Amino acid sequence: MEKLMTAKELSQFLKLSESTIYKLASNGKIPGFKIGDSWRFELEEIQKLIRESKKIGKTQRDPVEEKKERRLAERGQ
């Protein structure tokens, strides 16, 4: 069975504030799910996200950031 973490445990693991964890989870930036009002996170999924983020940083630019930059360029900013 996968190790489940609370938002508090994940915030300590990632060295982020609990409020940041809630924001990232609510916006779909980190994988998680709710049981009632409580968020839970699978450690393996978080570790996978970290590994993928490292690959993106080394091999290519983040597509979301590229899209933002294109929009700004189109506006002449």
What is the reported pLDDT for 55? 78
What is the reported pLDDT for 72? 80
What's the Cα-to-Cα distance from 17 to each of 5, 11, 21, 34, 41, rounded to whole Å?
15, 6, 7, 18, 15
For the chain, 77 residues long, the average pLDDT of each consecutive 10-residue run is 91 96 95 96 94 73 69 75
What is the reported pLDDT for 16? 96
What is the reported pLDDT for 70? 77
Name all domains of the chain by residue range, CATH numbers in brackets: 4-74 (1.10.10)
Amino acid at 35: I
pTM, to two decimals: 0.70
